[in-house]
Amino acid sequence: AARMFLRLLSDIQWRAAHPKWRRMTQRSTSTTAEPHPVSLPAQAQVVICGGGIMGTSVAYHLSKMGWKDIVLLEQGRLAAGTTRFCAGIVSTARPVSIELKMAHYSNNLYQQLEQETGVQTGYMKTGSISLAQTQDRLISLKRIASSLNVMGIPCEIISPKKVLQLHPLINIHDLVGAMYVPEDALVSSANVSLALATAASRNGVQIHERTSVSHVTIQKGRVTGVETDRGRIQCEFFVNCAGQWAYELGHSGEEPVHIPLHACEHFYLLTHPLKEPLSSNLPTIVDPDGRIYIRNWQGGILSGGFEKNPKPLFTEGRNQLEIQNLQEDWDHFGPLLGALLRRMPGLEALQIMQLVNCPESFTPDMRCIMGESPTARGYFVLAGMNSAGISYGGGAGKYLAEWIVNGYPSENVWPLDLKRFGTLQSSRTFLRHRVMEVMPLMCDLKVPRWDFQTGRQLRTSPLYDRLDAQGARWMEKHGFERVKYFVPPGSDLLDLDHSKTFYKPDWFDIVGAEVKCCKEAVCVIDMSSFTKFEISSTGDQALESLQYLFSNDLDVPVGHVVHTGMLNEKGGYENDCSIARLSKRSFFMISPTDQQVHCWTWLKNRLPDDSNLVMEDVTWKYTALNLIGPRAVDVLSELSYAPMTAEHFPSLFCKEMSVGYANGIRVMSITHTGEPGFVLYIPIEYALHVYNEVMNMGQKYGIRNAGYYALRSLRIEKFFAFWGQDLDAFTTPMECGREFQVKLDKGMEFLGQEALWEQKQNGVYKRFTMFILEDHDTDMDLWPWWGEPIFRNGRYVGKTTSSAYSYTLERHVCLGFVHHFDEKTGEQLVVTTDFINQGEYEIDIAGQRFQAKAKLYPFSSLFTQRRRKDEVELSGYQRE
Amino acid sequence: FYLTPPQVNSILKANEYSFKVPEFDGKNVSSVLGFDSNQLPANAPIEDRRSAATCLQTRGMLLGVFDGHAGCACAQAVSERLFYYIAVSLLPHETLLEIENAVESGRALLPILQWHKHPNDYFSKEASKLYFNSLRTYWQELIDLNSGETTDVREALINAFKRLDNDISLEAQVGDPNSFLNYLVLRVAFSGSTACVAHVDGVDLHIANTGDSRAMLGVQEEDGSWSAVNLSYDHNAQNENEVERVKMEHPKSEEKSLVKQDRLLGLLMPFRAFGDVKFKWSIELQKRVVESGPDQLNENEYTKFIPPNYHTPPYLTAEPEVIHHKLRPQDKFLVLATDGLWETMHRQDVARIVGEYLTGVHHQQPIAVGGYKVTLGQMHGLLTERRARISSVFEDQNAATHLIRHAVGNNEFGAVDHERLSKMLSLPEELARMYRDDMTIIVVQFNSHVIGAYQNEE
């Protein structure tokens, strides 16, 4: 039955399209039965594995960019995997901005593809309607609508009545509203893939079907070739577009490439046409509260969904039995069918054609996976589409092609970068459990600061149990458990854990108390998750290499800490870190938690191959306790019998000292918040001891535990940018007011220097700005999160990147980037200080605009008279 | 005294066990889907035993229930040992040689059985060496005897039963220098046990029965109703053939005293059993063993007591009656149970209750639309109905538990009555035995698809 169906969805175009590349690859026309008429080339520049939408899109874009020496291998037939069974909905309504851009690009690409290639793609601009059954759902739709609108994608929030006008079959009695995206489209996904393949093949790409890749050979950390069942191809680049088999393919070679994805069964229903066949331009319906989508299909409907109890499969790898068992499971589909009939009661009498079971692959964080392997250069991946393959296909292929050709894509794709994962997300058990959570999440309402529940407690600090017992509430980053806040004894714990809201959360006062304690006394935050590297050498190699790789001057006296960016050629932040000079020849580097793989790879690929230069990941060796607050000095000096005052221990300073009984504690006078205090890097076996000592000693100074929410509020009100939230590879220090962390004249060349020089001379095109919401009622209004559009004098100028309530200012603070778009051409112009200061600003939160005051510098005066320690320049200090 | 439903459930489910035959990559698909088993004690401790295992060196699966009397020692020993004897009897000559060589040279032994045991089903650690030696002697003899012929399952079953009983008798006569073991082997020999064992291999189902436990096949008729087919004969006074057999084996003069009050020699309910050497050994042998035995045995009135009219032993045998049945697609399940079940429930009711239970849980026969004309509304109705059926009908996940619930709790209308269940289960230990017997049940579920495929092949 499945075979019969293949033909149904793929239409007849398969055959029409086929001869085109058959001719290109010199296949004799009369030998469909003959398996391999053309032998594989012995070498190619790029080998792409997988002939689905991803593989063909990458091939298409690579060939468009002028690369010709490309071979695409497909184990079966082109577009025969998930692509064939895909529902063919191109939907741009995506919450993550980069995904939205990919989908928008895909839509435009598919629209003109038929004209370009002559292959019918079935493209039909039907529009889509996302329904809201609850007010919260409507808020989330409004947030998406805001970001679609500022990108120039038509989109409106409509009333239930309007929904009925657009789609007569819908039952609207339980709806509170909907979002209409008129330019969303339907395609035949298999044919889009074939069209892309046809175009690529015309551009010289060789396509070989029925050829399976057994493994990729890697030598000295570089791809050298591909072994197939038809022989070997030497290549420079390999692209793994093997869809749900990408994980296995990644693991097939001697050196595994970890691609964390896992397949789940996915069901959708096909019906016979209605008595009065549905029009082919009827909009697609997405009903997330009912967990279903419904599109018109050949006069009838196609409807599927994301059930609460997904069925993961292929956990142990490809398995014939599981493939055979991929059958219709009506009992499983029952709830979705119920939701469909509730939404469209008129369909009761419609006849079923088939229930299709097509596995989809999902990733641990619901975002797709692209980029280069951290362990094998030239090994690229594009997979794990979380059932949005057709929406992302065009854009994802384009970014990956740019990445291969230019070394970097034209947009910030960090949220999708393979390197956001480590080997720790590669356990099959973890993936199986996580995707069972991820698939239902496709439809679940996502409120600010939601978190995954599965695959938790993987990496923990040695203090985990202690903190947990004291009421810690946890969130997870890169597998590491971090404290959000501490629930004070006596609070209603259950209630707190279930709070989900777009408004003021119920931890508001709890975090407020923690912030107050940081301001007035002292708090301890466990920050062990931060990535920690040690780089040392026998001679000056370490200093010399780091001076080239980092923009600040690292040739500082021993014991000093330097905040610096790790920049790329364009001056953008690949990483933002603090580096302590432990000795003349060794450095201790602290970066954000999720930098563990990326930063390691970046440095590894750029450090000279010198056995006397050693880099070590010591993340696991140290527990980090951040003592924030004016009394941190007192606690620490009492515990160490050492004077800790500014004269003896200036800010941005690092010293190994004893704390309590424990020796060899690295104490640094930084807090990552702009508040006074210290971070203690404690060898893990001393962690409990030092923590206990600090808490005991701290009692008389009013010490308490605090979590990351307090830290966030503190750093955002101080206008501190965090990498991964505010900073990315497309942001330079010049654009975020950090010129003082760049030493353009440090006497030697460094990465990004040229780009920064140019920016210094010509100005920047965006500027990191702090906004204080003016007419925002913290108790009543929707809270900002991130990604809210910023309007200057009524015109869109950029988006926020993070936000927090400032307990000091008693206002919300948003951080974000302001651009200057030419009013007529939309061209980006230089952003000057005057441009920022002379505007009237508004922030759009789910369609509602709030007045905001823009600032380029933090309110130092507001925060008492204390010196702002973290940002003090170092030049005044004498060398030891 | 009243038990709440959760308390009732925890009593009923304390011993339940389920096994699902793992599926392999398209090959070696078993005709058994799995089995559910459970037991409910009336004696303290319970005298019933059960066993289940997969043969690893030959094909097939073994399942059995054992009803002990005069203590549980014999039933325990048989439950541990019988399957090994059967498995060994089925082994081809080469495998026997291989095993013997492995033992000889101290190498690791091929595993013979994979047991499927409830945590409460224990094996005696102390006796394992002794048991092993007896078993080894048996296979050594089999090696010497090498007939060169392929082993017939019926013969293997009969040989294994007889041999084990023989070994039990011999071990008791020889004794053991270890006093604990010595007492154990005597207790095993002087107590008794029935055995009802099923061997399933593809469509070939063999039932070997000794005593009054019973095997019953549940058959689904074309109209969906359930009927029962007996696959064993009870060896007791109600079985005329059996009475006839006993009478044939002894002189005419004993005819009157052989069966009294429906019992063998007026004493024993089952007419065949393991152990029970008091009905097998000569009077001299019994006296000798008891006198030389440990004090506990000597002081025991029961062991010293010689049955009346005991002239021409043996009166009892462990030789099973073997019935072979070729499984058909309509044969959906097999129930093996000790007489505790059959005393309270008619087999027809057993077939119906289990059949409805299995189809209820199992109605998950996937729905396929295929070429039928089904509308969304019809499908929705069908699915809703199926869901309702699952959630409301059964609190049991185990067919054997479900059967026990009915056997103990059924009122006159054939429905489970919670009050009755509660009363029956809260009887004090000393009273329980008056109202009910130990009950041990195994329900084996067959894979009709596989059986159908076998049939088509033939």
Instruction: Flag whether A402 is in a domain.
Output: no
Interface of B with A (CB under 8 A): 23-26, 364, 366-370, 373-377, 379-380, 382-384, 386-387
Chain B residues within an 8 Å CB radius of A330: 366-367, 369, 379, 382-383
Q: Are residues A633 and A536 in the same domain?
A: no
The predicted complex's ipTM stands at 0.82
Greatest alpha-carbon pair distance for chain B in Å reads: 82
**Best of A337, A350, A354, A356 to disrupt the B interface by mutation (most B CBs within 10 Å)?**
A337
How far is residue A191's CA from residue A53's CA, in Å, rounded to a whole number? 9
Question: Which residue range is the domain that position A322 belongs to?
Answer: 43-362
Between the alpha carbon of residue B330 and those of residues A141, A491, B333, B403, the distances in Å are 56, 62, 9, 21
DSSP state of A525: E
Instruction: Please tell me which residue of chain B has the smallest CA distance to A324.
Output: B26
CB contact under 8 A, B368 and A324: no
Long-range contacts of B90-94 (CB under 8 A, 24+ apart): B90/B55, B90/B58, B90/B60, B90/B151, B90/B153, B90/B156, B91/B57, B91/B58, B91/B139, B91/B142, B91/B151, B92/B58, B92/B150, B92/B151, B93/B143, B93/B146, B93/B148
Nearest to A330 among B26, B373, B383 (CB): B383
Chain B residues within an 8 Å CB radius of A354: 369
Of the candidates B365, B33, B77, B391, the one whose C-alpha atom is nearest the C-alpha of residue B200 is B33
- A323 touching B (Cβ < 8 Å): no
- Residue A765 is inside which H or E element, if any? none
Nearest to A331 among B364, B370, B374 (CB): B364
> What's the pLDDT at B458?
63
Say how many C-beta atoms besides its own lie within 10 A of residue A231's C-beta: 12
Of the candidates B160, B76, B42, B88, the one whose C-alpha atom is nearest the C-alpha of residue B434 is B42
In order of their start, the domains of chain B are 5-457 (3.60.40.10)
Q: Which two tokens stand for residue A461?
A: 């600090």
* DSSP secondary structure string for all residues of A357-399: E--EEE-TTSS-EEEE-SSSBTEEEEE--TT-HHHHHHHHHHH
How far is residue B190's CA from residue B274's CA, in Å, rounded to a whole number? 10
pLDDT, mean of each 10-residue run, chain A (880 residues): 35 36 39 58 96 96 95 90 82 92 96 94 95 94 94 95 94 95 94 95 93 94 94 96 93 92 94 93 95 94 93 84 78 93 94 91 95 95 94 96 96 95 90 92 87 89 94 92 90 59 89 95 96 95 94 94 95 95 96 94 93 94 96 94 89 93 94 92 96 95 96 93 93 93 90 94 95 94 94 95 94 96 92 94 95 88 45 35
Q: Which residue has the tokens 């080998």?
A: A47
> What's the pLDDT at A860?
64
Q: Are residues A48 and A167 in the same domain?
A: yes
**Distance in angstroms between the alpha carbons of the first and the last residue of chain A:** 79
Amino acid at A708: Y
**Burial letters A635-648, b for 16+ CB under 10 A, else e:** bbbbbbeeebeeee
Question: Which of A599, A618, A637 represents a domain boundary (last residue)?
Answer: A618
Amino acid at A677: G
CB contact under 8 A, B376 and A355: no
- A338 touching B (Cβ < 8 Å): yes
DSSP state of A187: -
- Residue A795 is inside which H or E element, if any? strand A795-806
Q: Which two tokens stand for residue A416?
A: 């999708």
Gap from B362 CA to chain A (nearest CA, Å): 12
Helix (H, G, I), strand (E, B), or coil: what is residue A301? strand
Instruction: Flag whether A188 is in a domain.
Output: yes
Q: Are residues A786 and A840 in the same domain?
A: yes
Instruction: Please tell me which residue of chain A has the smallest CA distance to B367.
Output: A330
Strands A523-526 and A262-264: unpaired
Nearest to B376 among A324, A329, A352 (CB): A352
Instruction: Flag whether A310 is in a domain.
Output: yes
**Burial letters A832-848, b for 16+ CB under 10 A, else e:** eeebbeebebbbbbbbe
Nearest to B369 among A337, A341, A355 (CB): A355
In chain B, which stretches have pLDDT less than 70? 1, 23-28, 298, 360-366, 370-371, 388-395, 411-415, 458
Instruction: Flag whether A367 is in a domain.
Output: no
Chain B residues within an 8 Å CB radius of A309: none
CATH of the domain at A91: 3.50.50.60
Alpha-carbon Rg for chain A in angstroms: 28
- A354 touching B (Cβ < 8 Å): yes
Gap from B267 CA to chain A (nearest CA, Å): 57
Of the candidates A391, A453, A463, A455, the one whose C-alpha atom is nearest the C-alpha of residue A421 is A455
Strand partners, B450: none
- A320 touching B (Cβ < 8 Å): yes
Gap from A322 CA to chain B (nearest CA, Å): 9
How far is residue A299's CA from residue A823's CA, in Å, rounded to a whole number? 45
Residues contacting residue B65 through CB under 8 Å, at least 6 positions apart: B48, B49, B50, B195, B196, B213, B336, B337, B338, B440, B441, B442
CB contact under 8 A, B375 and A348: yes
Instruction: Flag whether A21 is in a domain.
Output: no
Q: Are residues A849 and A872 in the same domain?
A: yes
Amino acid at B307: P
> What's the pLDDT at B423?
84
How far is residue B249's CA from residue B314's CA, in Å, rounded to a whole number? 9
Q: Which residue has the tokens 């990108």?
A: A151
CB contact under 8 A, A354 and B25: no
Q: Are residues A584 and A627 in the same domain?
A: no
How far is residue B109's CA from residue B98's CA, in Å, rounded to a whole number? 9
**Best of A268, A320, A330, A342 to disrupt the B interface by mutation (most B CBs within 10 Å)?**
A330
Nearest to A321 among B23, B379, B383 (CB): B23
Say how many C-beta atoms besides its own lie within 10 A of residue A706's C-beta: 27
CB contact under 8 A, A340 and B376: yes
Contact A459, A477 (CB under 8 A): no
Please give the order of strands across the beta sheet that includes A89-90: A89-90, A185-186, A124-125
Amino acid at A176: V
Helix (H, G, I), strand (E, B), or coil: what is residue A284? strand
> What's the pLDDT at A731?
95
How far is residue B144's CA from residue B146's CA, in Å, rounded to a whole number? 5
pLDDT tens profile A57-111: 999 999 999 999 999 999 988 888 777 778 899 999 998 899 999 999 999 999 9
Phi, psi of A875 (to 5 degrees): -60, -25
DSSP state of A459: B
Chain B residues within an 8 Å CB radius of A350: 375-376
Instruction: Flag whether A386 is in a domain.
Output: no
Gap from B367 CA to chain A (nearest CA, Å): 6
* DSSP secondary structure string for all residues of A314-364: -TTS--HHHHHT----HHHHHHHHHHHHHH-GGGTTPBEEEEEE--EEE-T
Greatest alpha-carbon pair distance for chain A in Å reads: 90
CATH of the domain at A770: 2.40.30.110
Q: Which residue has the tokens 């293949």?
A: A6
Instruction: Please tell me which residue of chain B has the smallest CA distance to A330.
Output: B367
Instruction: Flag whether A746 is in a domain.
Output: no
- A494 touching B (Cβ < 8 Å): no
> What's the pLDDT at A15?
36
Gap from A311 CA to chain B (nearest CA, Å): 16
Question: Which of A346, A362, A378 represents a domain boundary (last residue)?
Answer: A362
Of the candidates A186, A174, A433, A369, the one whose C-alpha atom is nearest the C-alpha of residue A293 is A186
Gap from A7 CA to chain B (nearest CA, Å): 17
Phi, psi of A187 (to 5 degrees): -140, 165
> What's the pLDDT at B35?
94
Gap from A268 CA to chain B (nearest CA, Å): 13
CATH of the domain at A520: 3.30.1360.120
* DSSP secondary structure string for all residues of A819-848: E-B-TTT--B--B-HHHHHT--EEEEETTE
> What's the pLDDT at B10?
86
Nearest to B377 among A319, A341, A353 (CB): A341
How far is residue A293's CA from residue A290's CA, in Å, rounded to a whole number? 9
- Chain A with chain B: Cβ pairs closer than 8 A: 70
Question: Which of A303, A337, A362 represents a domain boundary (last residue)?
Answer: A362
Q: At what angle do helices B73-90 and B128-145 cross, to 10 degrees?
A: 30
How far is residue A157's CA from residue A675's CA, in Å, rounded to a whole number? 43
Contact A700, A788 (CB under 8 A): no
> What's the pLDDT at A14?
36
Instruction: Flag whether A15 is in a domain.
Output: no
Q: Are residues A156 and A296 in the same domain?
A: yes
Structural domain count of chain A: 4
CATH of the domain at A612: 3.30.70.1400
Q: Are residues A270 and A306 in the same domain?
A: yes
Half-sphere exposure of residue A239, counting CA atoms within 13 Å on the CB side? 35
Q: Are residues A254 and A345 in the same domain?
A: yes
Chain B residues within an 8 Å CB radius of A353: 369
Q: Are residues A650 and A545 in the same domain?
A: no
Q: Are residues A703 and A784 in the same domain?
A: no
Amino acid at B313: P
CB contact under 8 A, B369 and A329: no
Between the alpha carbon of residue A766 and those of residues A763, A796, A798, the distances in Å are 9, 13, 9
Strand runs labelled E in A469-585 = 472-477, 480-486, 523-526, 531-537, 561-567, 573-583
How far is residue B243's CA from residue B173's CA, in Å, rounded to a whole number? 29
Q: Which two tokens stand for residue A311?
A: 């069925």
Gap from A292 CA to chain B (nearest CA, Å): 15
Q: Are residues A51 and A90 in the same domain?
A: yes
Gap from B27 CA to chain A (nearest CA, Å): 10
Q: Are residues A627 and A775 in the same domain?
A: no
